[in-house]
Structure formats: structure tokens, C-alpha cells
């Protein structure tokens, strides 16, 4: 929050524009921080008699340029027709709205990688340059780009130059202590007084610290609470937490895996096996593990180029991340890493799914 305030202050005080990237893994507070910050910035500006407004676009839902821009236009015109206008026209209309209201708009593109991968990074160019012929040297728009992955890998050169490397804020995984704080704050809001054991909160923080994911911690708290309710117990016990964790593991992964086809599953099974105890594997290792898995399930493995397609699909889905080189690996090879799912759990899940297909 402090860094954000430092970076965005000039848009209020000197009519500048600012573009910042927030990155970090799942549940590290990127969306929550961006929202809280935008609300605070709006208040801060108001106190200085400046108009700042903000809009958050969820690019997972709005993963085309036109639907993303439409949502921004909708911010000022809720009944704007959802078809019939080109992007250029919509941007012109947005510009008029901003000029009329003399307002600076902070546009938060949340999960931006979803949009950028599908539609390219043109949108960044359009949103940042459309205020270029500015009036009274007043900038109209600032951007906040949120992404789990390194967005600089996806951005083209001209869009990347919009974001200075110094304007990247990294959200580290929450530590056990931080998660403990979040859990106890949530418990206070969600539960009646004295309805959770201190040990239970410690355990929730502990089990979610592997990923440093606050969302996971909150989900376990909720599930454990429901389990305690079902039992008619007066307090959330550590056993409730353990049971909640077991349930959460399966639901997190299943929702992502359910839509995969057989070869995507086989590729993922290979990656899971090759990834045991390793942070990164090479594509070569992934491909040979995929071939072994295919043979095991009597499937003809796809050719090399098609295997790449599978990697892309899995990367898109957010179960693996494929990127150029990683720590400890020299040269320009592509490495693959499993995201938020432990390799062993993933392996068991996919095998279960593949086996039930066979039956």
C-alpha cells in the first residue's frame, strides 16, 4: 500500500499518469490490495478537490478487447449497448465521459495475463495512448495491471515500455504469521466469540503456509466452521481443520482438471511425475514423461509440435507455467513448473480421473 501510494500520488498532485504492475502467486492479496488502494486513492483525491475514479476489469471473465473496454465504458454508462460499437468508438465515448467529468480514471486489469494472451497486448497501447492528445495537460487514465505470472513475457516491446521495471510490485507469499493474522481477523468477523480454538487457527495458518495463499486459509476456516456446525460442536477443533484441509485439496484441483481432455491429462500426469521434489523441469523431461504416461494408458503420444500445444493449453489454464529458462538452469531452454498444486496430490488426482475413464 505504501509503495502504491508513493507511485500514484503524482496523478492526484500533478495530473500525471502512472502505470504499475502487481504480480505474485495465487491468494497473495493482489486483488484485495488493488481494490483497497483504489478506494483510498479516490478519498485522498477528493480531499484535494480532485476527481479520481476507478474501475476493476476481471480479465478472466472479460477476455476479449471489446468486452474489457465495454466494461470500462459501462462504468459511466451502465446501459450502454453491448454490441454495435467498435473498440475505437467505445474509447472515444469513454474519453468524452472522462473529459466531461474532469475525472482521472484508474483502470485495474485484474488477471491481465488472461486477456493479453488471448487478445495480444494492443489493449495496453490503446488504453494508455488514447489520452495522448490531452487537454489542459491533464492525463485521463492510469493503469494497474495484475497478473500471477511475469507479464513482461507476454507484453510486446511498446506495451512493456509503458511499465517501468521499477513500477513492478511483487507480492510475496504470506508467511505463517501473516496468515495467522488474516485467519484470526476473519474468525473474529465470521464466528461468535470464543468459537475457535487457538490451536485450530495456528494449524490453518500452518497448512496454508505451503502456498502462502490467504484465500486457501480463509476457505479452510469456512469449511472447518461448517464441519464443526454439522457436528453440533461448540468450537472449531483441530480435527475440523484437518478434515477441511483434506476436502479443500480435492476441490481446488478438481475444478481446474475437470475440463481437460485425455492428452492434456496425460501431459499433466507426466509433468507431475517428473516434478516430484523439483521446482522446475525442462520441456524435454516433460515430453518424455508424457510419452511414458501415454504408453501406460495405451494412447499414441502426440508429435513434438502438438505436445507444445498441450503445454500451452495447460499454461493457459494456470495449472503449469511454461517460461524461458529458470533459476539454476543455464541457456535459453523453456522450463515448466507446477503452480499451486503439490506434485503428489496432482498425480493421484489425474490417475484417478484417467482410470475412471478407462472403466
Ligand X SMILES: Nc1ncnc2c1ncn2[C@@H]1O[C@H](COP(=O)(O)OP(=O)(O)OP(=O)(O)O)[C@@H](O)[C@H]1O
Contacting positions for ligand X (CB under 6 A): 24, 26-32, 148, 182, 185, 214-215, 218
Question: Does 31 contact Mg ion by CB under 5 A?
Answer: yes
**Interface segment toward Mg ion; rule CB under 5 A; list 29-37, 69-77, 151-159, 199-207:** 29-37
Residue 27 binding result from ligand X, Mg ion, none, given CB thresholds of 5 to 8 Å by partner type: ligand X
Residue 173 binding result from ligand X, Mg ion, none, given CB thresholds of 5 to 8 Å by partner type: none
Q: What is the 3-state secondary structure (H, E, C) of the chain?
A: CHHHHHHHHHHHHCCCCCEEEEEECCCCCHHHHHHHHHHHHHHHHHHCCCCEEEEEEECCCCCCHHHHHHHHHHHHCCCCCCCCCCHHHHHHHHHHHHHHHCCEEEEEEECHHHHHHHHCCHHHHHHHHCCCCCCCCCCCEEEEEEECCCHHHCCCHHHHCCCCHHHEEEECCCCHHHHHHHHHHHHHHHCCCCCECHHHHHHHHHHHCCCCCHHHHHHHHHHHHHHHHHHCCCCECHHHHHHHHHHHHHHHHHHHHCCCCHHHHHHHHHHHHHHCCCCCEEHHHHHHHHHHHHHHCCCCCCCHHHHHHHHHHHHHHCCEEEEECCCCCCCCCEEEEECCCCHHHHHHHHHHHHHHHHC
Taking the least distance from each CB to ligand X, the nearer of 3 and 96 is 3
Residue 214 binding result from ligand X, Mg ion, none, given CB thresholds of 5 to 8 Å by partner type: ligand X
- Contacting residues for 307 by C-beta, under 8 A, at least 6 apart: 267, 287, 290, 301
Residue 104 binding result from Mg ion, ligand X, none, given CB thresholds of 5 to 8 Å by partner type: none
Taking the least distance from each CB to Mg ion, the nearer of 107 and 286 is 107
Size of interface with Mg ion, in residues (CB under 5 A): 1
* 356 φ/ψ angles, rounded to the nearest 5 degrees: -75, -25
Comparing CA positions, the residue from 126, 128, 115, 133 lying closest to residue 62 is 115
As measured in angstroms, the least distance from the Cβ of 293 to ligand X is 28
As measured in angstroms, the least distance from the Cβ of 188 to ligand X is 11
**Interface segment toward Mg ion; rule CB under 5 A; list 24-32, 150-158, 307-315, 340-348:** 24-32
Q: Residue with the closest Cβ to Mg ion?
A: 31
Taking the least distance from each CB to ligand X, the nearer of 138 and 215 is 215
Taking the least distance from each CB to ligand X, the nearer of 26 and 238 is 26
As measured in angstroms, the least distance from the Cβ of 155 to ligand X is 18
As measured in angstroms, the least distance from the Cβ of 214 to ligand X is 3
Comparing CA positions, the residue from 280, 277, 278 lying closest to residue 326 is 280
Taking the least distance from each CB to ligand X, the nearer of 27 and 131 is 27
As measured in angstroms, the least distance from the Cβ of 30 to ligand X is 3
Question: Does 25 contact Mg ion by CB under 5 A?
Answer: no
- Contacting residues for 89 by C-beta, under 8 A, at least 6 apart: none
Taking the least distance from each CB to ligand X, the nearer of 23 and 240 is 23
Residue 58 binding result from ligand X, Mg ion, none, given CB thresholds of 5 to 8 Å by partner type: none
Residue 182 binding result from Mg ion, ligand X, none, given CB thresholds of 5 to 8 Å by partner type: ligand X
Taking the least distance from each CB to Mg ion, the nearer of 31 and 74 is 31
As measured in angstroms, the least distance from the Cβ of 12 to ligand X is 24
Residue 128 binding result from Mg ion, ligand X, none, given CB thresholds of 5 to 8 Å by partner type: none
Taking the least distance from each CB to ligand X, the nearer of 148 and 237 is 148
User: Footprint of Mg ion on this chain (CB under 5 A)?
Assistant: 31
Amino acid at each position: 500500500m505504501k509503495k502504491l501510494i508513493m507511485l500514484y500520488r503524482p496523478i492526484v498532485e500533478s495530473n500525471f499518469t502512472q502505470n504499475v504492475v502487481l504480480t505474485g502467486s495465487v491468494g497473495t492479496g493482489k486483488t484485495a490490495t488493488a481494490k483497497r488502494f483504489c478506494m483510498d486513492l479516490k478519498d485522498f483525491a477528493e480531499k484535494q478537490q480532485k476527481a479520481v475514479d476507478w474501475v476493476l476489469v476481471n480479465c478472466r471473465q472479460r477476455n476479449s478487447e471489446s468486452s474489457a473496454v465495454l466494461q470500462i465504458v459501462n462504468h459511466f454508462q451502465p446501459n450502454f449497448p453491448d454490441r454495435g460499437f467498435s473498440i475505437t468508438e467505445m474509447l472515444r465515448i469513454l474519453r468524452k465521459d472522462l473529459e466531461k467529468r474532469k475525472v482521472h480514471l484508474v483502470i485495474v486489469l485484474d488477471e491481465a495475463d488472461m486477456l493479453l494472451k488471448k487478445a495480444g497486448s494492443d489493449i495496453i497501447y490503446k488504453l494508455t495512448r488514447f489520452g495522448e492528445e490531452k487537454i489542459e495537460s491533464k492525463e485521463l487514465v492510469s493503469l494497474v495491471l495484475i497478473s500471477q505470472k511475469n507479464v513482461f513475457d507476454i507484453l510486446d516491446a511498446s506495451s512493456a515500455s509503458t511499465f517501468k521495471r521499477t513500477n513492478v510490485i511483487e507480492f510475496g507469499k504470506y508467511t505463517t504469521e501473516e496468515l495467522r493474522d488474516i485467519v484470526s481477523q476473519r474468525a473474529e468477523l465470521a464466528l461468535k466469540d470464543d468459537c475457535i480454538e487457538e490451536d485450530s487457527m495456528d494449524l490453518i495458518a500452518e497448512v496454508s503456509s505451503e502456498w502462502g495463499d490467504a484465500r486457501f486459509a480463509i476457505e479452510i476456516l469456512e469449511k472447518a466452521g461448517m464441519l464443526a456446525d454439522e457436528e453440533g460442536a461448540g468450537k472449531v477443533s483441530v480435527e475440523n481443520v484437518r478434515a477441511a484441509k483434506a476436502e479443500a485439496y480435492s476441490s481446488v484441483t478438481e475444478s481446474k482438471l475437470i475440463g481437460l481432455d485425455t492428452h492434456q491429462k496425460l501431459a499433466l500426469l507426466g509433468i507431475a511425475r517428473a516434478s516430484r521434489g523439483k521446482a522446475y523441469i525442462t520441456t524435454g523431461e516433460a515430453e518424455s514423461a508424457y510419452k511414458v504416461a501415454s504408453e501406460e494408458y495405451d494412447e499414441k503420444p502426440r508429435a513434438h509440435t502438438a505436445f507444445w500445444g498441450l503445454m500451452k493449453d495447460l499454461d493457459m489454464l494456470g495449472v503449469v507455467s511454461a517460461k524461458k529458462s529458470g533459476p539454476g538452469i543455464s541457456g535459453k531452454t523453456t522450463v515448466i513448473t507446477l503452480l499451486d498444486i503439490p506434485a503428489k496430490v496432482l498425480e493421484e488426482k489425474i490417475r484417478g480421473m484417467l482410470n475412471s475413464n478407462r472403466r
